[in-house]
A and B are shown apart, each in its own frame.
Chain A
């Protein structure tokens, strides 16, 4: 039976394409259906489950990764768009014992509770600090620039504090 499903490429095994990209500094490749989202590729093909999915309308930011050094919501781009680009996920920025300063700031300032939004918050936070380098990063700026990331647990207070602390280098 041929139906709509076959044409949009999601349901048959026929249409898959190969993606070759760099994730956390390592070359990776995989066969994916053309409509596979980057977040699905990262989570399912690569098993990097630190990047989370919290919505289906690109609102929550739990899926934020770095794409050529800039934070993007990995649910808003297709895996095939990562071809030839550099993707960095939460697993790629630091490890226990060798944390990225933003990760350390979140722990020190209790910037997380359930931890589900946290990888996205950390990746977004790094972007905020980068974009505002050389300025005196204000609380208002942090709050405004966090607009694309939702946290239901912390009330943002300590997330803002964590990012401010990381920006100050402590």
Chain B
């Protein structure tokens, strides 16, 4: 095994710049002569805009330019598109057709934070001062900002084209088969659940720096793949893709949210062109809460039918999903094409029907947030299983045992039309229960009781899906300075790609790890790329590097053969060396690359890996909580997980992904909830003082371990790990909370299980 190859906990090469303060996040970048942009945002959740008078502001000190939605329309700036429009098919057979989102609101402001005017001035302070002088004549309209406010019959209609505020109504699976099975059921369990709305909140707020250089627009900003930005933004501005360069340096966390194109990206480029000066926009945290795309926000109703032996025969789920004020790039795809297929989890349920209805509301658009639909699916089935177990008088592990997809059933053709390739679901649960000393729990509960506390244990057996789609591109180059340049279309926002991709290439070519440099996030240097999303990066990039490495090896063999005057078939490659079988002569890959470069062609190679098969990370989380019945405060006292991520490239980095993912799930389960006032539609959770992110003292250490069952469909057997922690955490924690509360008669509780909600549930149940 190589010291820096696949499977090694290699320390991260990118860390040196981050720990010394030398990272280059977007707001750290400045260009000579830059001006500062500020976005005047709607203070109303819903308002008809009659006019926007910018005359006084335009005359203010230091102001360089002000643009409204009308100005952008007049200048021919397009709208931000929805990629799911024209793709998603409604239950009635019609295809979803939705308008894009205006870069600045034209005649209606649709949510608090919606952009009304973009002001550019010599300093940010001057831009903000000028914004105060803008007079917006608007009529406030009735708003429906929370999902619950938008779905009921009396809700104000937000769009002429959308009766009932319904954006789409999609369905998957076999409804007739499900109906039939419910007719025969020995037992039916049903549940209603809220998937609370979340503000993704990477600690780096959004920022964008645009300028026009030599006739080309250049945007520096955080992305999850610069090429997607280039493809989306060029047509909005009405320019050729080649006339737009996107550069992403360091990204301070994303979790899906920075995958997308925001109005400010268009605005800095537009203004920079108009003014002939670089324009920088940096959002503050308050703006993040009212303008970053949000996650989740789904209400589920689910029913599961069992036969007399406690085996599930069918499952029916209806999810009502909030799209927000506008449909985002992937918005309508998240709960449907993305998450719905994991409905039913890792159980062999023969008939499944899932329906998703999307609604408009007066809130920030909702799109992919870590897990993107799969945590919702896992939460529904794992809460249902626990509830059914209680109703049927079965232990939580027993009901799961009766329903797991067995190893002998793999590869398993899922009723929703895809294949689970591999996994050891029951073994993962057994191992997690053993590590957790599940059998010893009653004694721990007694101990807690003696201290006046309620103790509960919960598990979730989750499966999620790393989303295989499209392609990923890579290149391997050997420049003159003796380094190895590896180019990838993916983008790291903290996942350690500079290290992990180098491990993969070291494994493939035996090149020195220290000499590898990753090139990412620059459309002039990365010709094409799919980007980082859906936990796909490792196996997609591994596939692209493998194809590239194969070409490097073929070119190297041909070159060495030519040098030695031997046939190419007689040259072998292993451990970074080309060897002639006949003459016993050898040459290292670095020597070969240098010689081949001097000779002309060199060994530089690139390839695109096309792959449309998803992988299925899975595992078992076990959580133990203690609750103070007087305050309702939930304390997580033990957390452990057994994950099957297939083959693991860097266990240290994977541990980090697991920890971070679980704690984001813990945030959803216990603390986080983005809320609007139901009367006014005002954002109630607009800062870290009202929106609670987990802090170090909100949890205990996390024990992670792995059961590596190699994936049979992906390069190196990798399954991916980025979103699994988030997917498994919510049901494990909530099942533990409900287990603790059961003895007090509490049977239902929604996330987040804040002290207030738990306390109310305890009082209500008395």
Interface residues of chain A, those whose CB is within 8 Å of chain B, are 1, 3, 5, 10-12, 33, 43, 48-57, 59-60, 62, 89-91, 94-96, 99, 103, 106-108, 110, 112-119, 122, 139-140, 142-144, 146-147, 149-160
Query: Does B687 belong to the interface (CB within 8 Å)?
Result: yes
User: Would you call A12 and B61 a contact (CB within 8 A)?
Assistant: yes
User: Would you call B23 and A146 a contact (CB within 8 A)?
Assistant: no
Seed contacts A52-B203, A52-B252, A152-B664; 5 additional CB < 8 Å A-B pairs: A49-B27, A114-B253, A115-B494, A119-B21, A156-B695
* Interface hub of B14, B205, B252, B284 (most chain A Cβ within 10 A): B252
User: Would you call A158 and B656 a contact (CB within 8 A)?
Assistant: yes
In angstroms, Cα B19 to Cα A108, docked, is 11
> What is the minimal beta-carbon distance from A114 to any residue of chain B, in angstroms?
3
Measured between beta carbons, the chain B residues less than 8 angstroms from A159 are 696
Measured between beta carbons, the chain A residues less than 8 angstroms from B254 are 114
B683-710 with Cβ < 8 A to chain A: 687-689, 693-697, 699, 701-702
Measured between beta carbons, the chain B residues less than 8 angstroms from A55 are 284-285, 687-688
When each residue 253-273 of chain B gets 1 if its CB lies under 8 Å from chain A and 0 otherwise, what string results?
111000000000000000000
Out of B20, B61, B655, B664, name the residue touching A110 (CB < 8 Å). Answer: B655
User: Would you call A107 and B204 a contact (CB within 8 A)?
Assistant: no
Question: Known: A11-B61, A113-B253, A152-B664. Is A107-B15 also a contact (CB below 8 A)?
Answer: yes
User: Would you call B21 and A54 a contact (CB within 8 A)?
Assistant: no
Closest to B689 in A: A57
Out of A5, A10, A143, A155, name the residue touching B662 (CB < 8 Å). Answer: A155
User: Would you call A96 and B20 a contact (CB within 8 A)?
Assistant: yes
Measured between beta carbons, the chain B residues less than 8 angstroms from A113 are 253, 494-496, 656, 660
In angstroms, Cα B17 to Cα A10, docked, is 34
In angstroms, Cα B695 to Cα A144, docked, is 9
The interface size bin for chain B is: 35 or more
Interface residues of chain B, those whose CB is within 8 Å of chain A, are 11-12, 14-25, 27-28, 60-61, 125-126, 128-129, 132, 201-205, 250-255, 284-286, 493-496, 652-653, 655-656, 659-664, 687-689, 693-697, 699, 701-702, 725
In angstroms, Cα B13 to Cα A112, docked, is 12
In angstroms, Cα B202 to Cα A62, docked, is 12
User: Would you call B687 and A56 a contact (CB within 8 A)?
Assistant: yes
Measured between beta carbons, the chain B residues less than 8 angstroms from A158 are 655-656, 659
In angstroms, Cα B21 to Cα A52, docked, is 9
Can you report 14 residue pairs joining A to B where beta carbons are below 8 Å apart? Answer: A33-B125, A54-B203, A55-B285, A59-B689, A108-B11, A110-B653, A113-B495, A114-B494, A150-B695, A152-B202, A152-B253, A153-B203, A155-B664, A155-B694
> What is the minimal beta-carbon distance from A15 to any residue of chain B, in angstroms?
12
Measured between beta carbons, the chain B residues less than 8 angstroms from A122 are 19
User: Would you call B21 and A48 a contact (CB within 8 A)?
Assistant: yes
User: Would you call B204 and A54 a contact (CB within 8 A)?
Assistant: yes
Out of B20, B61, B205, B661, name the residue touching A94 (CB < 8 Å). Answer: B20
Out of A59, A89, A115, name the residue touching B14 (CB < 8 Å). Answer: A115
In angstroms, Cα B12 to Cα A95, docked, is 16
Question: Known: A54-B285, A110-B652, A153-B660. Is A11-B126 also a contact (CB below 8 A)?
Answer: yes
User: Would you call B285 and A11 a contact (CB within 8 A)?
Assistant: no
User: Would you call A142 and B252 a contact (CB within 8 A)?
Assistant: no
Measured between beta carbons, the chain B residues less than 8 angstroms from A1 are 60
User: Would you call A153 and B253 a contact (CB within 8 A)?
Assistant: yes
Closest to A4 in B: B132
User: Would you call B19 and A107 a contact (CB within 8 A)?
Assistant: yes
User: Would you call A116 and B203 a contact (CB within 8 A)?
Assistant: yes
Measured between beta carbons, the chain A residues less than 8 angstroms from B15 are 106-107, 112, 115
User: Would you call A54 and B18 a contact (CB within 8 A)?
Assistant: no
Measured between beta carbons, the chain B residues less than 8 angstroms from A59 are 687-689
